[in-house]
Each structure stands twice: as C-alpha cells, then as structure tokens.
C-alpha cells in the first residue's frame, strides 16, 4: 500500500508469515516487521499449535477463554522531519466461546456468526452512555458493522470505543470464525502522536482514514484454512 504524503512505516505485504493451528483450522497472518525501538512492542506467542483443543491455560474472560497470539506496537514516521506521527497498537487474540455447545454450528455460516456476535456486542453495551456524535458507532447503527469476505466463512469488522478519553477515536475490531466455537479477534488501536511544542503535520481525519485503509489491508492478508471435517459441514449447511 502506498502511504500518503511523506509517511513511512512497516508494510503488511512485506511482513513475516506466521501461522497458528487450532482444532478446526489453521490461520496465517502477515505480521509487520517492527523496528527495534524503546517504545515498540513485538510479542508473538511462541506456541503455534493449539490443535489438541486444550484451552485450560488460556485466560478467562467472562464466558469466554482468551489467548493472546500477537501484540505489536509501532510508529509511523514522517520521512522529511523524522517525526513519529502516529502510533499503532495491534492485538490478535483467539477466543473460545464456552457457551457454544458441541452440536451448535452457527459459527459455520457468515450470517449466523455475525448475528450471534452483534447481539453479544449490543448486550455488552447495555446501559452505556448513548453516543451522540454523528458518524460514530452506536447500537442503532450496529457499530458500523462491515462484512469481511473470506473464501469459506465471512468475518466482520466493527468500530468500538475502547479508550474513553475525550480525544479518542473508536477502535476497529475484526472477528473471524475459526471452527465450531473459536473466533479470531483483531484489534487495531491507532492514534496520532504529538511532540511537545510541535504540530503534527497530518490531520486526525487523514490519519484515521489511513487507519481504516491499513486495517483493511491487514485483514485482506489474513488466511484461514479449515479442516476437511469443517469444510464438509459448511458444504452440508449451505446445501441444506
């Protein structure tokens, strides 16, 4: 992807291929190559094979279990001034939904998967202060949900408020099914950076447009391959 103006930073298509195996699927991500700086993070889970289905060591997160696969943080820089102009904080998790029973196949279809998740997200926002800013994600506009096409089962992305400071923009999150009861969750925090006494030459609007483009590009490079059993179930569901 071509960055606007003089912005430079890690390119996803030049990133490292990193794969993780699960009971029903295998994912391959293109993780950006992060420059070694004091304020960058580059933590990739060393365990790559979770195909035995044992999730007992994963963290509890309400009804789910969660495992961090990737935590990366890096900056985008202006090539002329060498100033860092934006910071990106990307997390990739896998969620095990313990409320999904063994015979429940709703994750194997894009529509039912999205319907299930959207209800969860709305429930999670019950009682929250209503958002009044135009163009911001709300329960009414389904958090600006967008379907993300994948060959076998579609995922989706939404915008959620994760950090509630007055200047903070909503964070894009994406979810993809990884089998009968597993989901891939990708979070993409992005904020503009300011040095004391210096003005960031790029507007917030422009940087948040860049954020959306970067996230789309990262998602387009996520590859999910399901096991033969799951593919057979998907085929049976679509025929039925």
Partner 1 sequence: MSVSMARTSKSDGFIFFSPQTLGHVGRTVKIHTNLFFDFLCSVNPHSAEGQMVIRDIESLRSLAENKATAAFDPIGGRNDSAEHIQRKHKIQETLKRMATIAHHKKLALENSLITKNVRVYYNIYIRETDICPTVYISEIQVINKGNKEAGGFYEATTGAFGGKLIKAAKCNLEGKTVFVSAATATAYDAMKDAQVVSKGINSVVFFNPPSVTEDLTFGKKNRLTETTQTLVKEFQATLRDNKDRTVNWVVAGEGAALLSHALDGSNENLEKHSFKFVNPKADLSDLLQKLSARKADMGNDFISIDKALKNSAFSSMMVIATQKDALMTRLTNLPLRKMPEMGLDVNPETFLRLDLLKKVSDVASLGALTSIARLPQALEGKSISFIEAVMRVRTR
Enumerate binding residues for partner 1 (CB under 8 A): 35-39, 41, 61-64, 66, 71, 73, 81-84, 87, 89, 91, 93, 120-121, 123-124, 160-168, 173, 185, 187, 189, 191-198
Cβ atoms within 10 A of the Cβ of 237, count? 14
User: Residue 198 Cβ, how far from partner 1 at the closest point, in Å?
Assistant: 7
Scored b (16 or more CB within 10 A) or e, 188-214 reads bbbbbbeeeeeebebeeebbbebbeeb
φ and ψ of 135, to 5 deg: 85, 5
Distances (CA, A) of 213 to 109, 174, 175, 221: 26, 14, 17, 13
User: Residue 2 Cβ, how far from partner 1 at the closest point, in Å?
Assistant: 22
User: Residue 190 Cβ, how far from partner 1 at the closest point, in Å?
Assistant: 10
Beta carbons of 29 and 16 less than 8 angstroms apart: no
Cβ atoms within 10 A of the Cβ of 6, count? 13
Quick one: 197 or 240, whose CB is closer to partner 1?
197
User: Residue 169 Cβ, how far from partner 1 at the closest point, in Å?
Assistant: 10
User: Residue 166 Cβ, how far from partner 1 at the closest point, in Å?
Assistant: 7
What residues does 123 pair with on adjacent strands? none
Quick one: 24 or 189, whose CB is closer to partner 1?
189
What residues does 62 pair with on adjacent strands? none
């Amino acid at each position: 992807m071509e960055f606007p103006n003089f912005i430079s930073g890690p390119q996803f298509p030049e990133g490292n291929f990193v794969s993780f195996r699960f009971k029903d699927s295998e994912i391959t991500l293109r993780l950006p190559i992060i420059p070694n700086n004091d304020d960058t993070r580059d933590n990739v889970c060393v365990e790559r094979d979770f195909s035995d289905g044992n999730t007992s060591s994963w963290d509890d997160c309400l009804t789910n279990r969660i495992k961090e696969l990737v935590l990366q943080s890096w900056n985008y820089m202006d090539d002329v001034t060498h100033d860092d102009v934006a910071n990106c904080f990307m997390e990739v998790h896998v969620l095990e939904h313990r409320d999904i029973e063994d015979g429940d196949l709703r994750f194997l279809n894009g529509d039912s998967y999205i319907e299930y998740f959207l209800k969860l997200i709305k429930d999670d926002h019950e009682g929250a202060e209503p958002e009044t800013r135009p163009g911001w994600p709300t329960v009414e506009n389904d958090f600006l949900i967008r379907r993300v096409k994948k060959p076998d089962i579609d995922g989706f992305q939404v915008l959620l408020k994760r950090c509630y400071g007055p200047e903070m923009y909503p964070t894009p999150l994406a979810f993809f099914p990884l089998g009968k009861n597993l989901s891939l969750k990708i979070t993409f925090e992005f904020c503009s950076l300011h040095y004391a006494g210096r003005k960031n030459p790029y507007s917030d609007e422009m940087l948040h447009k860049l954020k959306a483009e970067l996230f789309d590009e990262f998602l387009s490079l996520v590859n999910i391959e399901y096991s033969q059993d799951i593919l057979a179930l998907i085929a049976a569901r679509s025929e039925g």
